[in-house]
Structure 1
């Protein structure tokens, strides 16, 4: 193949089409557990405010709720994936393999937000959230029905494979954050006069993006490393539901999803699908949550 601007432009278009084919083959799953936060800067500040009291009867003047906020920051990170195509391969028309290679690149790039978000979840036992506590901790600040400040726990401890119970019913409020500054894009570098081409006799085609993942609302998830059984599952559900605002009204959190890795899939299926438990009694937890089996977990 004769190498000139026209052939290189055509080649880049073909590689881009293959990239998009692979990219489009992926159905992202990160949005099940993370809320999308569009970003317009190198970092975004998150002010985590105390929960608002519930509605009150309007008698006399309005009551102004003064919000207390602690500022925390999530900084965007740049990401890239690049493939080099040798000049000799272009000249000799040895390009058959590259179509599949760039489709695979597209798939890798499209799956990366899933890698980032789901990979973050199990680190919550040892990583601090925006309230300064470990995301899964025993002493988050909470309140009871009597309007008293109490310690609220969203972890059960343990040392087994982690599993999680979460409220994923809201699109605008999730346990995790996916903060997007720039979507992934395909970038060809095909100038024959480029110093890289002169020094290495190859053209490069890459994808780049800017985003990051972080911890969001700890109130929406309980993490456990205890064995997955009915007793521990019930305790996690009760913990989620036992949250109240400063005025004593319920926070309204409920367990909608059970999230496990492959090693806990059988236990989760039995817990959520079996008609009867091991003792032969009615399984009261049947159908009480949707199951997510994540390959990013143990």
Structure 2
């Protein structure tokens, strides 16, 4: 192939098509648990988190609530992925064999928000949220009508692999994916680019600016207890019993269960089967009963639950 501007553009278009095909074909789950927030600067401030509005009967003047100020902010991070292609491979028409590699680049770019969001979720036992407490804590402050704080928990302790119950039914989600610039493929193939002049290679790279953060802790519950029907029931009850400031029920509706690979069978058995086995008086004779938890949440099993 003659190396000129037109032919290099054709090669790049082919690589871009493979990249986009890989990007669109990759399975992803971050958008089930995180709200996507556009960013127009180096960071976004989320001082409004924790202020869930309620509706009251209008008697007399409006009652104006002062927002409690929080200092939670997310700094955008820059991410990249770069590969080098020999110029001679393009000259000798060998560029086509690299198309699957660009498809994998697109696949990895599409999966990257999953990695950010779910690894952050797993790190929620130490990562701080808007109220200054770890996202999963036993002492989140909730204020009554007199401004007195009570400690509220959104976690179960234990020593098993952690699993997470989330309410993803609202406009505000438990997690945040903040996007400054989307994942984009670019290239350096000009004769006067340093890589071409010095090493006789072309560079193709992906760049994005984004970050992940914590939304409302009230919409997430973590457990390190075994993933059993009893513990799942206790987690649901704890979430659905939550009240906001001034004692108003939040009406939390947990509908997503996030589990690591090691708990995949437990999660699917709990949420996808119509019956379950319980131990009666005689441990040697277990009883099969209807599974009241089937269909109560969507299981998401992910390899990114690492902190």
After TM superposition, the score normalised by the length of structure 1 is 0.92
For residue 255 of structure 1, what is the aligned residue in structure 2? 254
Matched, 1:275 2:267: no
For residue 235 of structure 1, what is the aligned residue in structure 2? 234
Partner Cα distance (1:202, 1:65) in 2: 61
Partner Cα distance (1:267, 1:67) in 2: 42
For residue 295 of structure 1, what is the aligned residue in structure 2? 303
Give the Å deviation of 1:64.
Answer: 2.0
For residue 169 of structure 1, what is the aligned residue in structure 2? 169
Matched, 1:122 2:122: yes
Q: Measured at CA, do residues 6 and 270 of structure 1 come closer, stay the same or move farther in structure 2, by a change above 3 Å? A: closer
Q: Measured at CA, do residues 235 and 89 of structure 1 come closer, stay the same or move farther in structure 2, by a change above 3 Å? A: same
Partner Cα distance (2:244, 2:297) in 1: 24
Q: Deviations over 1:45-95 (max 9, x none)?
A: 110455457433333333221221112210111111111111222222222
For residue 184 of structure 1, what is the aligned residue in structure 2? 183
Unmatched 5+ stretches in structure 1: none
Give the Å deviation of 1:99.
Answer: 1.3
Residues 70 and 131, structure 2, Cα contact 8 Å, conserved in 1: yes
Partner Cα distance (1:70, 1:144) in 2: 18
For residue 211 of structure 2, what is the aligned residue in structure 1? 212
CA RMSD of aligned residues (A): 2.2
Residues 143 and 244, structure 1, Cα contact 8 Å, conserved in 2: no
Matched, 1:34 2:34: yes
For residue 223 of structure 1, what is the aligned residue in structure 2? 222
Unmatched 5+ stretches in structure 2: 280-286
Give the Å deviation of 1:161.
Answer: 0.9
Residues 166 and 221, structure 2, Cα contact 8 Å, conserved in 1: yes
After TM superposition, the score normalised by the length of structure 2 is 0.89
Q: Deviations over 1:155-213 (max 9, x none)?
A: 1122211101111112x211110001111111121101222211111011111111111
**Partner SS state of residue 37, structure 1:** strand
